[in-house]
Amino acid sequence: MIELQITWFILVGVLLAGFTVLAGLDLGAGFLFYRFRSAEEREAISYNLRPIWGVNQVWLLTGGGALFAAFPRVYAGVFSGFYLALMLLLLALVLRAVAIEVKPEVSSDRWGRFWDESYFTGSTLVCLLLGVAMGNLLAGIPLDSQGNYTGGFWDLLNLFAIGTGLYSISLIALQGAGLLMTAGSDQLRQKAGQIAARYWLISLFLFLLLTIYCFIYEPQVFANYRRFPLLYGLPALLIICYAVYPVALKKMAAQVPLLVSSLLILALWGLLGGAMFPALVPNSADPSASLTLYNSSSSLLTLKVMLVLAVIGIPIVLFYISAIYRQFFAGRSLKQSIDNSASELSH
């Protein structure tokens, strides 16, 4: 039973990590619209995102479903507790979904600009809110004995959570820039490289700041690391990624920075899991009454059945997604994308 509970703790993390790494591409590129202001640049970027953003979002929906199935008490407690924040998240998700799909339907400047701005706003808000939510969960939130959140909406917007929200944006910006570097014309690639260098610095700075904050105000997040020093491998990996990133940016193939930033995000999820384990929702009012993978999981049979479905299903999903990604992105420059997309819109 414990093995299954731990497996699902990891698997929910994997689904959410899959979302941040892959949807990070289209969320990040959307956030970077503020740096790419011309209609041509934005259209060239959207051209690459349109076929893949939808399937990337399914990682989040499936993560939500898996959380519901494996840890119903967490799903119920967190989602109802963060009610207004989640409604804002839904609004942002709906906005960007409509924006990216509807924009190419009408070829008018005003229409295009409106939906581009909506896509930027929605994408940025999604990153910010998910970062804020993760910050709150890491630090812990007050729960009653039933596992219901007892704080209010504004309590979620504390200094630490705003910091993690901004940190989330900085990481997603790296993903977006990474995508543009792999599929960009020389000019765009150069611009994306500069952006990546800047966000590397910002995110490193925020990471250090947040770590120091935790050291002073949230020392409990280090407890697992003191007990199991092997876990330090995760922050070590993250720091290596930070160290390698600027080198990769300057000297290595165009795809490498994206791989490094993806690995960095995976290491961060590992780091978070290591800090929170076995809690999924640490209870700041009474740490002994946290929602943990032991006390909030589904039954043995459900976890087993779900594991079978996941073990069969997820490799198949990865197989066809990678096939599709390869076909859409293999050896094609963004310059070509601009030409293709221009001919698609003008015919």
Summarize as ranges the residues that interact with another protein (CB under 8 A): 50-52, 54-55, 57-58, 61-62, 64-70, 72-73, 75-81, 83-84, 86-87, 90-91, 93-94, 97-98, 101-102, 105-106, 146-150, 153, 298-299, 301-302, 305-306, 309-310, 313-314, 317, 320-321, 323-324, 327-328, 340, 347
Q: Which is nearer to another protein, 2 or 252 (CB)?
A: 2
Q: 56 burial class (0-12, 13-18, 19+ CB within 10 angstroms)?
A: buried
Number of other CB atoms surrounding residue 306 within 10 Å = 20
The count of residues in the chain is: 347
Is the dihedral angle over the CA atoms 327, 330, 331, 335 positive or is it negative?
Answer: positive
Smallest gap from Cβ 94 to another protein, in A, equals 5
Please say which residue, 222 or 325, places its beta carbon nearer to another protein: 325
* Of residues 213 and 325, the one with the C-beta less far from another protein: 325
CB of 144 to another protein, least distance (A): 8
In the complex with another protein, the residue whose CB is nearer, 80 or 194, is 80
Nearer to another protein, 285 or 317 (CB): 317
Minimum Å distance from CB 125 to another protein? Answer: 14
| DSSP type of residue 332 | -
Residue 162: Cβ within 10 Å count: 15
The CA distances from residue 87 to 81, 90, 150, 153, in Å, are 11, 5, 18, 11
The answer to whether the bond into 278 is cis (omega within 30° of 0) is: yes
Reduce the DSSP state of residue 20 to 3 states and report it. helix
Exposed/middle/buried for 54, CB within 10 Å: 0-12, 13-18, 19+? middle
- Residue 103 CB, shortest distance to another protein, in Å, is 10
Between 83 and 232, CB nearer to another protein: 83
Burial class (CB within 10 angstroms; exposed 0-12, middle 13-18, buried 19+) of 23: buried
Q: What is the DSSP letter of 70?
A: H
CB of 243 to another protein, least distance (A): 35
Closer by beta carbon to another protein, 97 or else 237: 97
Phi, psi of 49, rounded to the nearest 5 degrees: -85, -30
Q: Please report how close the Cβ of residue 53 comes to another protein at its closest, in angstroms.
A: 8
Q: What is the smallest separation between the CB atom of 300 and another protein, expressed in angstroms?
A: 9
